[in-house]
Amino acid sequence: MNTPQLIDLHFQDTAGVIASYVFDTGDGLAVVDPGPASTLGALEEGLGALGAGIGDLRHVLLTHIHFDHAGAAGTLLARVPRARVYVHERGAPHLARPERLLASATQIYGDQMDRLWGELQPIDLDRLVPLGEDQGLRLGGCEARVLATPGHAVHHVSFHVGDALFVGDVAGIRLDQRQTPRAPTPPPDIALEDWRRSVALLRGLDARTLHLAHFGVYDQSEAHWDGLLRTMAQDAERVRMGLERGQRPEAISEEFTATLLDELATEGADLPARYEFACPPWMSVQGLLRYWQRQAARAGRGDA
């Protein structure tokens, strides 16, 4: 299992929505983004199909701490005493004391929290490995590089292991080869300038494959990154123009969603429904509205 293996977590019994990646380090298995606790059974089944089990995991690598990527980490560690979690130093305290994380997510998901994500168990600090901005990381016999890649989240990192880049959400949502990548922009801390810098960093690396959480493995290519930057700029501009016209958030969201789904339909008739489930457009609008409002506030203060 030296080559990273994709495990489909079948989120909400739907294929092709959330992926985890597993590889052998020579010192147990590493899993990148184990997903939410609600899909832990699918992770276990996927490991079983590879001839392994939960007990073989030693290294839990998190690109960031959003529930769809990291929610199962605490439950995993409770079951596997020798495993540790590797996460950006700004995300680590929230995994040890998840009250604020839970409160923030509950504002968005309300009484659907348990159905969507399952339990978020706290993690003892001595089992968390805080990661810096750019560092090497030895996992058994594997050498990895940790890269700070903010934009989607201030605490987002990517992992460069051999020919593979594990990119979480910073490389966008891409559900199959036909689809142009698109940036998931939920609140609270979308930063488009940081995102563009992260893209510039990643596209310059000597890597062959991009491993996306949503969803699949793609070639490291100029076309992928150019498509992501183009659609990210278009989506952001649509929200900005709605604000400039004085539209209400509901109207901006409705118009944004219709345009997005129409564009996806030109790439594949099945893509609009699949994308809307994987990355609800209204959440992306919320994040971009917050981004532009922060930009306006900074301009009003005369910030650089």
Does 206 share its domain with 246?
A: no
Does 196 share its domain with 246?
A: no
Does 196 share its domain with 281?
A: no
Rounded CA-CA distance 34/125 in Å is: 19
pLDDT at 113: 74
| CB neighbour list of residue 127: distance below 8 Å, 6 or more residues apart | 77, 83, 84, 85
pLDDT at 105: 76
- Domain of residue 109 covers 5-228
ω into residue 186 within 30 of 0, thus cis?
Answer: no
pLDDT at 118: 78
Rounded CA-CA distance 117/39 in Å is: 8
Tokens of 88: 């950006």
Rounded CA-CA distance 153/169 in Å is: 9
ω into residue 215 within 30 of 0, thus cis?
Answer: yes
pLDDT at 147: 97
| CB neighbour list of residue 106: distance below 8 Å, 6 or more residues apart | 113
For residue 102, give the H/E element and its range: helix 99-109
Query: Model pTM?
Result: 0.94
Give the closest residue to 27 by CA, choosing from 70, 59, 75.
59
pLDDT at 299: 73
Mapped onto helix, strand or coil, the DSSP state of residue 15 is: coil
Q: Mind listing the pLDDT tens digit for each residue in 69-95?
A: 999 999 999 999 999 999 999 999 989
Does 180 share its domain with 253?
A: no
Does 80 share its domain with 121?
A: yes
Q: Mind listing the pLDDT tens digit for each residue in 1-21?
A: 568 999 999 999 999 999 999
Mapped onto helix, strand or coil, the DSSP state of residue 28 is: coil
Q: Give the chain's length.
A: 304
Tokens of 288: 């971009």
Task: Check if the beta carbon of residue 9 is closer than 8 Å to that of residue 37.
Answer: no
Does 106 share its domain with 255?
A: no
| CB neighbour list of residue 203: distance below 8 Å, 6 or more residues apart | 220, 222, 225
Does 250 share its domain with 106?
A: no
- Domain limit, last residue, from 228, 261, 279: 228
pLDDT lower than 50: segments of the chain: none
Structural domain count of the chain: 2
Does 203 share its domain with 273?
A: no
Does 241 share its domain with 111?
A: no
The distance of Cα 234 from the centroid of its chain, to the nearest Å, equals: 21
- Domain limit, last residue, from 210, 228, 246: 228
Residue 224's domain is classified under what CATH number?
3.60.15.10
Does 177 share its domain with 241?
A: no
Rounded CA-CA distance 17/213 in Å is: 8
Does 121 share its domain with 269?
A: no
- Domain limit, last residue, from 193, 213, 228: 228
